[in-house]
Amino acid sequence: MKGFSLSLDRAGAPLHAAAHSHHPWPDASFAAQRAAWEDAARLLDRKWNRVFSEVIPAAQTYIARELSLPDPATIAFGPNTHSFVSRILSCFSPDRPIRVLTTSSEFHSFSRQLARLEEDRLVQVSRIATEPFDSFEARFAEAANAERHDLVFFSHIFFDSGFRVCDLASIVAAIPDRDTFVVIDGYHGFMAVPTNLDAIAERAFYLAGGYKYAMAGEGACFLHCPPSYGPRPRDTGWYAGFSALEKSGGGVPYAEDGSRFLGATFDVSGLYRFNAVQEWLQSEDWTIAKMLAHVRAIERSFLRELDLLNTTINSSGLLVPDEPRRGRFLAFRTADAGAITAALAERNILVDFRGDRLRVGFGIYHDERDAIELARALTSVRG
């Protein structure tokens, strides 16, 4: 498989159909990983000069281009998105519970954190069910408009279904109080579907990372920080004051750009990998739109084959059958999701599940033969 010889084009490699979970690393990332090590060895303490003057600005530029953000400097990096959630929560006054509007389908780190804060009555949470999907955007916008919240948090594409919020701007516009923080979890949207944040760049946070469709692995997460929101997070590390380390003066200084949401030291090799993969995609003319079109074609082949084989897992069981409303993976509702995942793993085929949702994700390294092989394997494990 061109570009994936080290991960997939090798003896014993699995049929990997979990691109939505942990995307295989392209070959281009290998040299980047080595370059991160060599820079640390060669430059020693001065490696941070290179990281902050070259590596980070390059990554910011790539992300701003993909999301149509007007200013790359609004982007901060960290080891995971949860660190950004904690930093955002630290922006609110500690003298009363934080009023939060969110959904019933947010990723485990955020939902777990909220649940724990609820135990100590530090937050008051309203959760809107994502299903039925056809009415979700209207229902969520109505809830956002109905009362004042400190934080409105929702996913661009939901991890447990693949349902895609297409009109981000309408939801943001429905929030009446300009002081309300709006945070969009874009982890399943970034590099999966074309995304233009220009209309809401001044109003909404957007957090995502490189672990999935950006194919960069761990440690390459980012937060777009709209100007003037959260000027001085209480959860702050030395990176947030990096530009002021050699300056004198009292108080705790913060920059006005996205660096105010930085934390502390983390492994930056993920950003090296991210930049290398972006360069490789450009050299191969893989735009987000082209990658999505390729995956859609594979999905259609897979679903056609499932329907022809008349298996109990078929297109009628898709949670989100409408392509424009779906992210870049397929989710089927079945009580046997865990058993099916385990049975396929025994055949060296990787999918995954969340509760009663079987998730299947294809990538640019798949072709129609892979789709047919997976469909036939699903038929056999279902007996």
Binned average pLDDT, 10 residues per bin, the chain of 383 residues? 89 93 94 97 95 97 98 97 97 97 96 97 98 98 97 97 97 97 98 98 97 95 97 94 64 93 95 98 98 98 94 91 98 95 96 95 96 94 62
Residue 177: count of CB within 10 angstroms of its CB: 13
**CB environment 362-377: b (16+ within 10 A), e (fewer):** bbbbbeeebbbbbbeb
Instruction: Report pLDDT for 382.
Output: 61
How high is the pLDDT of residue 160? 95
Q: Provide the pLDDT for residue 244.
A: 60
Q: What distance in Å separates the CA atoms of residue 31 and residue 272, rounded to the nearest whole number?
A: 9
User: Residue 274 in contact with residue 62, Cβ under 8 Å?
Assistant: yes
Going from the C-alpha of 203 to that of each of 164, 222, 258, the distances in angstroms are 20, 17, 14
Domains of the chain by range and CATH?
28-280 (3.40.640.10), 287-381 (3.90.1150.10)
Strand ranges in 175-237 using DSSP code E only, listed in sequence order: 181-185, 204-209, 221-224
Give the neighbor-by-neighbor strand order of the sheet with 357-360: 330-333, 357-360, 352-354
Q: Bridge-partner residues for 123, per DSSP?
A: 98
Give backbone dihedrals phi and psi of 26, rounded to 5 degrees, phi first.
-65, 160
- Determine contact, residues 151/93, Cβ cutoff 8 Å: no
Question: What is the C-alpha separation between 205 and 25, in angstroms, rounded?
Answer: 27
Q: Do 136 and 168 form a contact (C-beta atoms < 8 A)?
A: no
Q: What is the dihedral of CA 61, 67, 68, 69, to 10 degrees?
A: -70
What CA dihedral angle connects 20, 22, 26 and 31, to 10 degrees? Answer: 140
Give the strand pairing for 330-333 and 357-360.
Answer: antiparallel
Separation CA 6–CA 13 (nearest Å): 9
